[in-house]
Structure 1
Amino acid sequence: MKRLYWLPRRFNPIFAAFLLIAFLSGIAGALLAPTLSLFLTTEVKVRPLWVGLFYTVNAIAGIAVSFLLAKRSDTRGDRRTLILVCCLMAVGNCLLFAFNRDYLTLITAGVLMSAIANTAMPQIFALAREYADSSAREVVMFSSVMRAQLSLAWVIGPPLAFTLALNYGFTWMFIIAAATFAICALLVWFTLPSVPRTQSAQQGDEPDGASSAPIAPAGDWRNPDVRRLFIASMLMWTCNTLYIIDMPLYITADLGLPESLAGLLMGTAAGLEIPAMLLAGYYVKRFGKRNMMLFAVAAGILFYAGLVVFKFKLALMVLQLFNAIFIGIIAGIGMLYFQDLMPGRPGAATTLFTNSISTGVILAGVLQGVLVENLGHYAVYWLATALAVMALWISARVREV
């Protein structure tokens, strides 16, 4: 029986801390994201167009802030300190949403704090990769298991979010999210390591007798494979965000199904993502990252096409299997794909991956609002299917690494 070499021979509290922080931050995020469109519609009382605009502005701010912080994190400073600051900003953002219902305040101060807070996750993964590399562990499986913690969090988070919001109100839901982020901040401060940057990591000089990955040049965007992967990833996450924004509103407004079903669907997909993610991490060396990504996008096409055709609860539940394969693989393998195409720059590569998500959110926010205002919810899933087909074609043109 093959041994999973990413695991330590004895219990390693630092690895356990990474997994716990990923899980708790995932729980907090899963309390916020699934209910945001419902919060803006029912509590802040804005039109669908303004809901989409909020997602767009939030994503634009996130891209700008994360690029600035990622560039600094790969060259100077303590990555752990940056993660701590991001967690504290997340606490402040949750408290703002808990006690404020003014759209202008939320889309300005709230978006700024959210942009800084959202940088925490790529930085946690970047620090985890640096620690795994310095400890000579298997990076792919460790990263897959960390990503699985986020999926596990999304099994619990969305149903819990809708339960709290619908039964106790959004204020208590945001307070609980703030407390969870505060616990993450304490864990970051007391348990995560500071991985020192070596001379080679800062200047690209290879030390005597050692073999290190070359530092990717500043013009990584000039690499056509990086560009193609970014565009393909952006389209994939546009599809996913269209679904996340629209589905809670679609199943109640058009299908007449209960609001709580939205949390159940998201939780089911997240639960199925865990085995999909772990299997992807195990088989990626056999089939390659490119083939795994193509398989994932094909599953995504089936999922969004299924949403066009099927409109009853059982079918929506069954379709979550394809959703889980799609998200489970692209979320784990996609990030590693960027890192392998940009050797020596884990922070920049991970942030480029997360910014492909943010760019997808920008597009999804605009498209969802415009489509629903003019054509209704049904058009959203036709568009998602078409975008997934485009993503498959572009992904097929990215080289294997």
Structure 2
Amino acid sequence: MNNFFIAVRNRAQSVMAIDGFPIILLLNVFLGIANSFVLPFSSIFGIDEVGMTNMEFGIFMMISTLCGVGFSTYIGKLSDRVSDRKLILILCAIAGAIGYIGYAYSRNYYVLLAISSIFLGISASTFSQIFAYGREVLVKSKVPAKEIPLYMNILRVLFALSWTVGPAIAAYVLLYFGFKGMFLVAASCYIIVVGITLLSLKKASKKEMAKPKPKPTEATIPLRQVIFQPFIFVNLIAFTLISTATTISSLNMAQFVTKVLNGEEKHVGIIFSIPPVFEVPFMLGFGILALRVKSDNLIRLGSLLAFAYFATTFFATDIWHIFPIQILSAAYIAITSGIAITYFQDFIPNMPGTAMTLYSNTGKIGSMLGFLLFGVLSDTFGYRNVYLWCAIFAFLAMILLFALVRAKRVQFGSSSSINA
């Protein structure tokens, strides 16, 4: 046990010793708090506070998500063409602050839709830019390449930790200060991100800025040429399927527990509080495992765990069955939202912004599809069978990922890879 704590202490010291990386960790904490304040209460805000119908809220989320995907894709590609992504990170965070200040003071559907589509659409790239910046810091440091997945997982862990306390604090703020107070706190988090970035993140050196622009075979290649490389395209489909299943499952759980298993709201709260408790140690554990095991194999394990989670939930017949099953949820999420970041960045190491954007867009598109499919599936097949469909989506993702065992990764650094 002493050796374990010594190893943890040494690893923590090594993380803090990386020039610039502690600042990236801090930025991620504030970004995580802002997200954890807003996302859990978005449907309550839209339907109960603004007065949207379920259909209007679904359309609102769909348009906002599509705009976020569009902006993120463009900004991610742009960030890989510039010598210093600091300015882009600042602009994205400023857009987030403006967006949530607008949310605090407006209750007009169309004004909110414009704010969400434009300002929050732009700010959606903040997450990708922070992780891309973190990747660049690690690459420039003396961290061995094989240890980068571990450090990126540590970065993802801090984002997850923010979610363990953020929603509870947000509920308290909402109770005493309403949605206005809640959104102003979220905007303040983005303003803090801007301040820390301005004051603490180093600008690219003159030597780095003087480097020649990327060759056409690197950051300037057309985005469609990256996306439609078979290996990358199949991964995008697989991760979108997993994200879709995750979103549908999250929306369905409360209904499944209260209307099928005859549980109560307190049981729903317990169920949603279990995964974050296990996600952090799982993320650290899988990060360490990634030092010895190829990330490809861990990703396939994640898809297998996702399938096991949804299939097992489908067969649950009592409330207490759901509690231990949530550990499976924590395990697959730890992989598909932790290891997956480095996994995607390894596809195109010269384009970390594009790689992170592709990864985050699978989540956004999956969420959008999940919002649209949940109502259809639950109304047509019932709440229990929704998990059967989630299992089917996860199974398809697993088949796609296992089919890539012998597939060759494309390296976007030589003309041969582009013309292959």
**Shorter chain as normaliser: what TM range?**
0.7 to 0.9
- Matching residue's letter, 1:108: A
Q: Distance in 2 between matches of 1:254 and 1:27?
A: 33
Query: Out of 182, 198, 203, which is 1:194 matched to?
Result: 203
Conserved? CA contact 2:232–2:347, under 8 Å: yes
2:327 is the counterpart of 1:321: yes
Change beyond 3 A, Cα 1:129–1:256? same
Q: Distance in 1 between matches of 2:260 and 2:54?
A: 14
Q: Distance in 2 between matches of 1:202 and 1:295?
A: 39
Q: Which residue of 2 aligns with 1:343?
A: 349
Residue aligned with 1:300, SS: helix
Query: Out of 366, 369, 372, which is 1:366 matched to?
Result: 372
| Percent identity of equivalent pairs | 24
TM-score (norm 2): 0.83
Matches within 5 A, 1:2-401: 8=14, 11=17, 14-76=20-82, 78-137=84-143, 138-165=147-174, 168-195=177-204, 197=208, 202-204=213-215, 217-218=221-222, 219-247=225-253, 264-310=270-316, 313-372=319-378, 374-375=380-381, 377-398=383-404, 399=407
Q: Distance in 2 between matches of 1:264 and 1:195?
A: 46
Question: How far 1:255 sits from its partner (Å)?
Answer: 6.2
Of 113-122 and 30-39, the range deviating more from structure 2: 30-39
Question: How far 1:194 sits from its partner (Å)?
Answer: 2.6
Of 273-282 and 39-48, the range deviating more from structure 2: 39-48
Between the two structures, name the one with larger relative contact order (CA 8 Å, sep ≥ 6): 1
Conserved? CA contact 2:15–2:21, under 8 Å: no
Q: Which residue of 1 aligns with 2:412?
A: none
Q: Distance in 2 between matches of 1:250 and 1:59?
A: 26
Conserved? CA contact 2:104–2:184, under 8 Å: yes
- 1:194-243: CA deviation from partner (whole Å, max 9, x where unpaired): 345567773249xxxxxxx9769542223211011111111111122223
Question: How far 1:173 sits from its partner (Å)?
Answer: 2.0
Q: Distance in 1 between matches of 2:258 and 2:176?
A: 17
Conserved? CA contact 1:98–1:175, under 8 Å: yes
Q: Distance in 1 between matches of 2:55 and 2:259?
A: 16
Q: Distance in 2 between matches of 1:171 and 1:108?
A: 18
Could you tell me which runs of 5 or more consecutive residues in structure 1 were left unpaired when the two chains were aligned.
206-212
Q: Distance in 1 between matches of 2:337 and 2:15?
A: 28
Residue aligned with 2:329, SS: helix
Q: Distance in 1 between matches of 2:248 and 2:190?
A: 26
Conserved? CA contact 2:16–2:22, under 8 Å: no
Q: Distance in 2 between matches of 1:108 and 1:250?
A: 34
- 1:238-269: CA deviation from partner (whole Å, max 9, x where unpaired): 12222344445665676676656655544431
Q: Which residue of 2 aligns with 1:210?
A: none
Conserved? CA contact 1:154–1:267, under 8 Å: no
Conserved? CA contact 2:19–2:137, under 8 Å: no
Structure index of larger Rg: 2
Question: How far 1:53 sits from its partner (Å)?
Answer: 2.5
Residue aligned with 2:346, SS: helix
Q: Distance in 2 between matches of 1:44 and 1:5?
A: 47
Count matched residues: 394
- Matching residue's letter, 1:390: L
Of 40-49 and 18-27, the range deviating more from structure 2: 40-49
Could you tell me which runs of 5 or more consecutive residues in structure 2 were left unpaired when the two chains were aligned.
410-420
- Matching residue's letter, 2:214: Q
Question: How far 1:123 sits from its partner (Å)?
Answer: 0.4
Query: Over aligned residues, Cα RMSD in angstroms?
Result: 3.0
Change beyond 3 A, Cα 1:254–1:161? farther
Question: How far 1:293 sits from its partner (Å)?
Answer: 1.2
Of 47-56 and 191-200, the range deviating more from structure 2: 191-200
Of 213-222 and 349-358, the range deviating more from structure 2: 213-222
- Matching residue's letter, 2:89: I
- Matching residue's letter, 1:112: I
